[in-house]
Every structure is written in C-alpha cells, then in structure tokens.
Structure 1
C-alpha cells in the first residue's frame, strides 16, 4: 500500500488521531470516525496505515553504525519504581568527557523512533540516554497500542520520579562533562518541561517538542535555557503556551520558541504521515546548535 502524503489527509483525521493517541477516544471510535470520511480515493486502510507508525521508516542511524556504541543500562530509582532501564548510546571514539542528553519518548514507551533519536545525538558527539517508562512492566511491547495502554496504567508520579532518577544517573555518568540536556516529544515534551522545573539543579538545557508545561506550582522553578518547538496544527498543546510564556518571561528565563507552519503534532516523527521533513530537519538543526551552545560551550562539528 502506497504511503499517503500529509496533504492528502484531511485535518480531521489528524485531529482524531491526536485524540486517540492521547487517550481521549478509544480505537473503535477512532476507526469509526475515519470510516465516516467521504474522501474520494482514501480508504480506511490507507488512512489508518498513514496515521499509525511504521518504524521501518524511522531509522536514520543504524545500531550497527561504526561511529556509535549502543547498549541498555539500568539505574536506581528509589522514589519511582525502584529501578529503571534505558538505551545508552555513546560515540565509539571518546577522547574527552562529553555533554549528555536525556531523550524522552512519547506516551507509549521506548519505541524504535526514540532509540534512533538517541543514536543521532551520539553520532553528533553527545552521550545520549533514552529511558523506557515501561521497564517496570516489561518494557516497550513492540507496538504502540499496547505500549500506550501499559503506560496509562502506570503511576504518573512514579514515572516522573523515574525520569528524575535517569537524569541524575546520566548527569553523573563517568563519560559526561557534567552538563545535561533533555529533549522529548509529546509526553516527552512534557517531561522535558517537567524536569526543567522539578529538577533545575540537574538540567542545563531543555528542548521540548510539542509538550505541555509542568504544573503551575513547579513551572516557576525553570532556570535553564529552553528551546520550545511547536506544531502549528496542535491546539491542545499550543493553548498552554501563552501562560507558560508569561511565567518564563516574568522569571527572565532564556528561552526561544518556534512554531512550524502547516505542521501536525508529531511532525518530527519520521515513521508516520505527520512527519514534515523540512520542519523536522530545521527543528533538529536548531536543537543541535542549542545543545552545543549550552552544554559544550561551542559549536560541535
């Protein structure tokens, strides 16, 4: 089946997928709504295939790439689920201590797209670590529907504590220079904002992609430079930005924000038709420059 291009998909379909992906509607309702679209030439199968991930499309850096080394590492999380596990990726050749970046997945566990993001960072000279929130229940199950259901059943506060523990593990890792950034997508965008607010002593730079802010009682604690990436067609997240922006400005936080025209929530994820190559590449270039400036003090080459 030929993959649909984003411009072939009605905005309603993207909106319904966003509701489904965030648990506002169940799969049956999502598919029923898709079936109701009377769009010439678009079958339910083609729409469903286009909107749900195909992770074979997402590998930009092979786990066999000779320039990186990838492995799974466990860490202690006494205030969370007791123990966590993540995907640690380092450059093969390390001649000095390097800046580190925590990579945070969406609301469905550590899927292949997020592992690839960690590999991309390592290939650029960072120590990258991508924890799996689903480790306490066996880890990412191999498909997003089950992963989403599993993550929804976990205690949200314990998940947050697991990511604080992961940040602490990575910041103090022997290979790092003590500077820690965080980048996350969707739920991971929220966790990026949360960590900047809940653990300001750990985070030196944050890049949330289409993520909501931390709770009102925490958001005032953000101190680190923050780069916020937004999709234009993402009302749920974008509606939270004006109030968040006001707090950041009131506290004189060094922030940058970008809205990418015409893009959908999830535009950086190259495994679905929500992917926008031009916007994703620009947002990623900005992310790398931002981390190089605030974690390494120079442009990394």
Structure 2
C-alpha cells in the first residue's frame, strides 16, 4: 500500500499530511479524513491504509499545523486514562483556537490539494472524521456542497456545527455516535435538524460505546463498534461513488 507524507499549502502556512492509496496506478475517489484531537499517529495511518485498501485515495491532514508539524503533541503508544489530563491540558487551547474561520480556510486548501492529486479521479470527494475531526468534516461538507458527495462523522460533536451549517448539507451522510456522547433526546433533536435540511443520512447511537470507540490506542476502543463503523462508512462511500 503506497503512502506519502505531504505538505499542503494553506492561507496560513503549510499543513503536513499523510496519504494512502491503492498501488494499481489507477485514479480513485478521494477521501479527506480528519483525525481526532490527538492527531496523526500510527492508528490513524493504519485506518487510512485500511480505507485505501478498499479503493480510495485517503488524505489525512494535520489540523493543528499552526502549532507545529506531526506529532504536535508527544503521545504515549497507548493513551490510557492516566495520561489524558496532561494531554488535554495542551490540546484544548489548540481546539479552542481552531475557529470556524480557520476550519473553512483550511477546508478550501485541503480540497483543492486533494482534487488535484494525480491519483484522484475526477468528480466530487468524500470527507470523514473522528471526534473533533467529525466536526471539521461536517463544516467542510456544508461549505462545499458541489465538491463533497459523502460525509461521515464518528463520536463527533456534530451538533456543535449549528443548524445554519447543518441546513447547508447536501452530501449523503452517516453519523455514528457514542452512547456516552448524547442522549436519545439529543439524537432526536439532531436528526430533526437533518430531516429539516432534507439530508440523505443515517444517524445512530452505537450501543455500549464511549467517546473515541474507533481508536485502538485508547481505553475507549471497542472492536465490534469499529467494525460497524467500517461497514457503515464503506456502505456510504459505495452509494456515493
């Protein structure tokens, strides 16, 4: 599986990124994969490669490149509960500084870069993300209705995008929520907003999961839920492309 480390020109500098794609020399649909707050690391590279193995060019940018290249944070191999307070003390200021304006400027640059890759086929792309990355994916899809055909977000604060953003969505969507992230009532409110926008989507709570359930290097990891996430994501991409 070919992989690359790349530099994406943005309005505010250079964002480093990781890409994985099939080795057949053909052009494939592009997928912009936003990492969770912990950023690009072995588990994200593995997930990008797994998705690429299904016939996609997968680009994973470093959203916090303004604070330095990957690894922006020094992380242990396994992010246990004892390590989280110190990590979040450094991470939260970066998340808070990552305003909607920054998100949208970066999204413009990421999509321009992705669609220009010689390995990416013509036409729209997909965007997906985890945790805060799911919110970034949602903003990206809403801001680029003609360029993003599919949107997936997992254990992500999708509702934080706000009704105005959600109402602009035209991409097919899948939203896989952790059971600890929102109540059934909150899920109903989110789905009502998506229904009002006329979005073609699925949105569901993955039973028994906690925030971060897709990430194998954390205590939140749930193997069955991650497999369900792959099935949902691949089905979504299959319908979009």
- TM class, shorter-length: 0.7 to 0.9
Q: Relative to 1, partners in 2 of residues 1:82 and 1:257: Cα closer, same or farther, differing over 3 Å?
A: same
2:168 aligned partner: 221
Distance 1:239 1:74 in 2: 42
Distance 1:256 1:104 in 2: 20
1:143 to 74, 78, 81: 74
1:71 aligned partner: 4
Distance 2:220 2:145 in 1: 32
Asked if 2 retains the 8 angstrom alpha-carbon contact of 1:106 and 1:187, the reply is yes
Aligned residue for 2:106, secondary structure, equals helix
Q: Aligned pair 1:162/2:92, yes or no?
A: no
Q: Relative to 1, partners in 2 of residues 1:247 and 1:172: Cα closer, same or farther, differing over 3 Å?
A: farther
Q: Aligned pair 1:198/2:129, yes or no?
A: no
Q: 1:231-270 to 2 correspondence within 5 Å? A: 231-235=178-182, 240-270=186-216
Distance 1:289 1:282 in 2: 11
Distance 2:165 2:133 in 1: 17
What RMSD in Å do the two structures reach over aligned CA positions?
2.2
Q: Relative to 1, partners in 2 of residues 1:142 and 1:70: Cα closer, same or farther, differing over 3 Å?
A: farther
Q: Relative to 1, partners in 2 of residues 1:272 and 1:155: Cα closer, same or farther, differing over 3 Å?
A: closer
TM-aligned CA deviation for residue 154 of structure 1: 3.8
TM-aligned CA deviation for residue 244 of structure 1: 2.9
2:54 aligned partner: 124
TM-aligned CA deviation for residue 263 of structure 1: 0.8
Query: Cα deviations across residues 32-82 of structure 1 (Å, max 9, x unaligned)?
Result: xxxxxxxxxxxxxxxxxxxxxxxxxxxxxxxxxxxx11111122222xx23
Distance 1:71 1:131 in 2: 12
Aligned residue for 2:224, secondary structure, equals helix
Asked if 2 retains the 8 angstrom alpha-carbon contact of 1:111 and 1:142, the reply is no
2:95 aligned partner: 152
Q: Relative to 1, partners in 2 of residues 1:246 and 1:168: Cα closer, same or farther, differing over 3 Å?
A: farther
Q: 1:168-183 to 2 correspondence within 5 Å? A: 168-177=112-121, 178-183=123-128
Q: 1:26-65 to 2 correspondence within 5 Å? A: none
Aligned residue for 1:263, secondary structure, equals coil
Distance 1:142 1:70 in 2: 22
Q: Normalised by the size of structure 2, how large is the TM-score?
A: 0.84
Structure 1: which 5+ residue stretches go unaligned?
Answer: 1-67, 296-301
Structure 2: which 5+ residue stretches go unaligned?
Answer: 76-86
Distance 1:129 1:175 in 2: 11
TM-aligned CA deviation for residue 207 of structure 1: 0.5
Distance 1:168 1:244 in 2: 30
Distance 2:43 2:120 in 1: 24
Query: Cα deviations across residues 256-278 of structure 1 (Å, max 9, x unaligned)?
Result: 12221111111111112211111
